[in-house]
């Protein structure tokens, strides 16, 4: 296999290995060729092959087992498309075990930034801030920080947030269901507290998914920020 002349050797090799993973040529938990074999196949140095593999391990696409080799990660893929299905529901439908741990709930005056996002009036700035951590097959994979209009959800603290999904709770207890959802996705790095919760080192790359949820009256009532470990999950967008 030859490398395209108009791209750097490292970048070209990385893209070709990524494509073999995306196309399913290398299935989850399958061992990939050794560094020497990849160097031979793509006519590159062993150092280049090792560097690219290390980068793909860091990106969560591959993992190493000392003495056995390098394998394709078994990360679940979550679709972000309509009709809306939560990440928790999709993972459970794939047969994965998803559990939730309650961290905290407080009622506060919304900071100006959150008040603006939720279109809160100056005389109605009380919000609930709910923090949860989710586990995928027993390992922490995301942190949720959810902001809700307090005036819409009286006695919110009385509910069990570990066994009942928030969407289900809001619909069944308060008759509130989502009409539309606006989402943004960006990369960030873990702070010390986030790293501690997720079992990673500070500075570890994370995916940040922000969701603004509107009710049937087109009024936003929930703003949620979810930090994902990119080595534990993959998001797929289809429109």
In total, the chain counts a number of residues equal to 239
pLDDT of residue 91: 78
pLDDT value at residue 122: 92
Q: Are strands 126-136 and 139-149 parallel, antiparallel or unpaired?
A: antiparallel
| Residues 131, 154: Cα–Cα separation, whole Å | 18
- Give the relative orientation of helices 9-22 and 35-42 as an angle to the nearest 10 degrees: 110
Spatial distance between the Cα atoms of 234 and 224, rounded to a whole number of angstroms: 19
Q: For residue 132, what pLDDT is reported?
A: 96
At 7 the pLDDT is 58
Rounded distance between C-alpha atoms, residue 126 and residue 120, angstroms: 9
Whole-model pTM: value is: 0.70
Ranges of residues in the chain with a pLDDT under 70 are: 1-7, 59-60, 79-85, 237-239
The predicted structure's pLDDT at residue 224 = 96
pLDDT, residue 80, reads 65
Domains of the chain, each with CATH number or no CATH: 9-72 (1.10.10.10), 77-237 (3.40.1410.10)
């Amino acid at each position: 296999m030859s490398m395209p002349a108009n791209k750097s050797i490292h970048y070209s090799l990385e893209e070709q290995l990524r494509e073999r993973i995306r196309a399913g040529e290398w299935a989850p938990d399958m061992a990939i060729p050794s560094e020497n074999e990849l160097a031979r196949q793509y006519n590159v140095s062993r150092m280049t092959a090792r560097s690219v593999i290390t980068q793909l391990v860091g990106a969560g696409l591959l993992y190493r087992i000392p003495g056995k080799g390098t394998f394709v990660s078994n990360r679940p893929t979550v679709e972000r498309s309509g009709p809306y299905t939560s990440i928790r529901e999709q993972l459970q439908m794939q047969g994965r075990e998803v559990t939730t741990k309650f961290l905290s709930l407080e009622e506060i005056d919304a900071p100006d930034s959150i008040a603006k996002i939720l279109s809160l009036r100056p005389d109605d700035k009380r919000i609930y801030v709910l923090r949860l951590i989710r586990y995928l097959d027993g390992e922490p994979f995301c942190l949720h920080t959810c902001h809700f209009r307090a005036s819409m959800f009286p006695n919110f603290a009385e509910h069990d947030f570990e066994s009942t999904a928030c969407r289900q709770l809001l619909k069944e207890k308060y008759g509130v269901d989502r009409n539309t959802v606006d989402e943004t996705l960006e990369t960030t790095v873990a702070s010390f507290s986030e790293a501690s919760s997720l079992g990673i080192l500070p500075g570890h790359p994370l995916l940040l998914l922000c969701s603004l949820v509107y009710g049937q009256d087109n009024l936003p009532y929930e703003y949620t920020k979810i930090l994902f470990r990119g080595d534990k999950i993959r998001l797929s967008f289809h429109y």
